[in-house]
Amino acid sequence: MIEYIEWKRAAREIPEEDQSDFYDQPLPCTTIYQYQTSKLSLPSHRSHFSLKFTLDGQEDYCFGRRRTKLLPGMALFSNDGSDHDSSVQNEVHSLSIYLPKDVANNLTGQAIAGAMSALDQHSNAGAEHDIPQVAFTLSRRTQQALNSFVARCPGHSFLGDNDALQLLSWRLTEHALRDILKQAPPWALQSVTKASVREELIVRVLRARDYLNDTRGNGYDLDGLATLACLSPYHLLRTFSDVIGETPGSYARKQRLESAMTAIEAGEEFHSVARKAGYQSVRRFKDALKKHQTATAHDRLMPN
């Protein structure tokens, strides 16, 4: 059983009493919302397990004092029972997937077990890990799964059996969970006992990582990056390494090398690309590029 709701309104504000039946009751089946609107306001509410994808435009989410802007190519994960409010002030096209608790627990359990097995984290095998509520960037595979899902969505609302659509929604969720576990692993920062503090630290690290992605690692400066993440340089080094698995400097260097590979494939001269990547010697640049290509090829062979 699956419920699909397609909603196209020029403007609407949903009062709290209209949403209580949906958010306050156990979810009986997978529920999909696809909506287009230019104005939307949802007061603070306790969410079901959900994934929210912005297909076009921008949505603003607020978790207490923390605010997140959701743009195309991103998604927002909310665990069962988490609180947030949201708003739209411009034209937006979005899709949300809400899953019943038993389905969500099964999918998250499988995703965490698979990720930890790939990382060989046997010491944490018996630990309980809650995936943090976080906005994240879609991988190419997840974006393709999202495009396939949207293409298969019917052009009308319905409640009933649609095994193909339900299977696609679960596959999309599986891909999205893998993205989250790579970008914000819940076993990171386990020395931070308070979940809300741990989530906030992970969000700040992701903010720093996204900046390095946007700049392709160019102009890397630890102090400036720490200011952006609202952390001291010392705490940024520690938390970034724990969450991402490497120091911000190492991550920035990889981004520069990725950008360099793209430039070389486009026909740019080696010496010019080497200077842009921060290398004075073409030989050292070629050595670094070779090591990076070897490591990247190894990563692609690892299970997703």
pTM of the entire predicted model: 0.71
Angle at CA of residue 243, ends 101 and 47, nearest 5°: 25
Per-residue confidence (pLDDT) for residue 269, from 0 to 100: 85
* 72, 64, 248, 122: CA torsion to nearest 10: -100
Give the closest residue to 62 by CA, choosing from 80, 49, 45, 48: 45
Per-residue confidence (pLDDT) for residue 22, from 0 to 100: 63
| Tokens read off for 241 | 């390494």
Domain residue spans of the chain: 1-187, 195-301
Per-residue confidence (pLDDT) for residue 20, from 0 to 100: 55
Per-residue confidence (pLDDT) for residue 298, from 0 to 100: 41
Which CATH number is 1-187 given?
A: 2.60.120.810
In the chain, count H helices and then E strands.
10, 11
Per-residue confidence (pLDDT) for residue 81, from 0 to 100: 59
Per-residue confidence (pLDDT) for residue 60, from 0 to 100: 82
Q: Determine the topology of domain 195-301 in CATH.
A: Arc Repressor Mutant, subunit A (1.10.10)
Per-residue confidence (pLDDT) for residue 177, from 0 to 100: 94
Reading the chain (304 residues) residue by residue, the pLDDT tens digits are: 899 988 877 656 555 555 556 666 778 899 999 988 877 776 666 677 899 999 999 888 776 666 777 889 989 898 765 666 677 778 889 999 999 988 988 998 888 888 877 766 544 444 456 677 788 889 999 999 999 999 999 888 889 999 999 999 999 999 999 998 888 787 788 788 787 788 788 888 988 988 898 888 888 999 999 998 999 999 999 999 988 889 999 999 888 888 888 888 888 888 888 888 888 788 888 888 888 777 765 444 334 4
What is the spatial distance between Cα 206 and Cα 243, in angstroms, rounded to a whole number? 9
Pairing of strands 2-8, 30-37: parallel
Say if residues 261 and 293 touch (Cβ distance below 8 Å). Answer: yes
**1-187 and 195-301 share one CATH topology?**
no
